């Protein structure tokens, strides 16, 4: 028997599906991002790890661990997905166990107690690392779903409004984080366990919204998975022939390399400028969030039509953060607050601008490979960044990491200005 071919969806039916999917995607994206930002990789995480070890390299690695784990497996996942027609359960399935890990880790902290900082550090690396790798398994199918099952206009709004909603929520939660980590909160390490527990519950709440997402057809899948001896040279060919994509990858590598300075802004505040942990985390997180909301709202309005322009603008704000941190090192805490405001603008628009450019630029049949290649190569900079940043800080101080980060961001901006058009122009 021959299976009947479904009638193509009308424009009105597609519009209805896009509208419904948008609500589910936005809910998942917002709650997930709130959970991740509540244990912020540039605030809470390095401050937590600093209390468990004095190794600057480990502190720097902890700040980048989630993004490294998220990016690394995506190229291999993309190879599997080229022969998969329906990718929804590649996104939903791994999320079910993965999004329990942070909540479990909060309980492990309490069980281990303050007398075993080494064991807590080992548990953190295991649970946080597994959560990151698990999220990496769903990164490529998520990007493909967002590309195929949302229209361009709503996709830009998803990123922009989602980041803005996250920022506004974090504004309300920042005082709570400050209270938990302050003198009125639980003793260490139970104060951090409580933060991880709140974050873990939020991760669990992301599961119901992703189940009803309706997947729309993407590109026709391949009949077989290409062998590695063909797949890997094919990736090199993509980079060699596609100049705009190659330039965007290079710019992204430089921006990820600049994250070497990320964990040391909070270290500068607490170790050199004399701010307490609760004051630094809550106030600097507040400034970062204000900037993130502003950047995300502007992107939600103009990001689809002017994605590359916004990427360049976000890089200017990103460059301001290490520059202002250098001024704070000489002048006091004032410029550091502005640095976190500028860094927040970059956080609210830079990453989503890169992602939106790749999703818009790649054809549907290219999207899994382009997404996997872009994200996995981005991890190279993140692997180098903590080793380089930690070594620079241990040998020369915080200022050396800020200077090298500023140079890397300047290089990324030059690449974008010279070689990277908007998707519609490419």
pLDDT digits (tens, 9 = 90+) for 232-261: 677 788 888 888 899 999 999 999 888 888
Roughly how many angstroms between the first and final C-alpha of the chain, as a whole number?
Answer: 45
DSSP state of 272: I
Q: 116 in helix, strand or coil?
A: coil
Rounded average pLDDT over 24-40: 90
Domain residue spans of the chain: 17-215+225-419
Cβ atoms of residues 38 and 195 within 8 Å: yes
Q: Classify the C-alpha dihedral 374-377-381-387 as positive or negative.
A: positive
User: What's residue 172's pLDDT?
Assistant: 80
Res. 275: pLDDT tops 50: yes
Confidence of residue 425 (pLDDT cuts 50, 70, 90): very low
Beta-carbon contacts of residue 246 (< 8 Å; ≥ 6 apart)? 239, 240
Query: In whole angstroms, what is the distance from residue 290 CA to residue 299 CA?
Result: 14
Give 207-237 pLDDT, tens digit per residue: 999 999 998 876 666 666 667 677 667 778 8
CATH class of this structure's domain 17-215+225-419 = mainly alpha
For the chain, what is the mean pLDDT? 83
Q: Does residue 99 sit in helix, strand or coil? A: coil
The whole-number average pLDDT for the span 354-375 is: 81
Residues 6+ apart with CB under 8 A from 302: 310
More confident residue, 147 or 278: 147
Q: Quickly count: other Cβ atoms within 10 Å of residue 309's Cβ.
A: 14
Rg (the chain; Cα; Å): 21
263, 63 in Cβ contact below 8 A?
yes
Q: What is the mean pLDDT of residues 308-320?
A: 88
Query: Is pLDDT at 26 greater than 80 in this prediction?
Result: yes
Check pLDDT > 90 for residue 110.
yes
Distance (Å, whole) CA 375 – CA 71: 5
């Amino acid at each position: 028997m021959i299976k009947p071919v479904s009638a193509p969806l009308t424009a009105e039916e597609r519009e209805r599906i896009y509208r419904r999917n948008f609500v589910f995607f936005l809910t998942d994206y917002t709650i997930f991002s709130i959970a991740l930002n509540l244990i912020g990789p540039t605030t809470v995480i390095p401050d937590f790890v600093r209390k468990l070890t004095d190794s600057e390299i480990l502190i720097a690695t902890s700040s980048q661990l989630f993004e490294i784990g998220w990016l690394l497996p995506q190229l291999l996942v993309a190879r599997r997905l080229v022969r998969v027609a329906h990718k929804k359960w590649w996104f939903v399935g791994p999320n079910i166990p993965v999004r329990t890990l942070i909540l479990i880790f909060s309980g492990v902290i309490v069980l281990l107690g303050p007398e075993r900082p080494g064991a807590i550090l080992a548990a953190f690396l295991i649970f946080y690392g597994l959560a990151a790798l698990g999220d990496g398994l769903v990164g490529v199918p998520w990007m493909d779903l967002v590309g195929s099952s949302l229209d361009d206009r709503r996709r830009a709004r998803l990123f922009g409004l989602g980041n803005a909603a996250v920022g506004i929520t974090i504004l309300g939660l920042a005082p709570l984080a400050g209270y938990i980590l302050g003198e009125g909160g639980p003793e260490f390490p139970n104060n951090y366990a409580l933060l991880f527990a709140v974050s873990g519950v939020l991760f669990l709440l992301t599961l119901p919204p992703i189940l009803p997402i309706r997947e729309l057809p993407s590109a026709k899948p391949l009949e077989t998975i290409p062998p590695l001896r063909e797949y890997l040279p094919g990736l090199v060919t993509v980079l060699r022939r596609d100049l705009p994509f190659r330039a965007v990858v290079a710019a992204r590598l430089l921006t990820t390399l600049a994250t070497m300075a990320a964990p040391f802004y909070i270290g500068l505040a607490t170790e050199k400028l004399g701010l307490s942990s609760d004051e630094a985390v809550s106030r600097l997180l507040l400034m970062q969030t204000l900037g993130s909301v502003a950047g995300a709202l502007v992107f939600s309005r103009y990001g689809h039509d002017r994605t590359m322009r916004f990427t360049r603008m976000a890089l200017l704000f990103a460059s301001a953060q290490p520059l202002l941190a250098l001024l704070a090192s000489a002048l006091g805490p004032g410029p550091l607050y502005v640095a976190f405001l500028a860094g927040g603008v970059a956080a609210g628009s830079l990453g989503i601008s890169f992602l939106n450019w790749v999703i818009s630029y790649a054809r549907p049949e290219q999207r899994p490979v382009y997404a996997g290649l872009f994200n996995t190569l981005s991890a190279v900079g993140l692997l180098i960044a903590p080793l380089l940043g930690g070594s620079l800080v241990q040998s020369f101080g915080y200022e050396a990491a800020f200077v090298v980060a500023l140079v890397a961001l300047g290089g990324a901006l030059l690449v974008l200005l010279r070689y990277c058009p908007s998707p519609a122009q490419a």
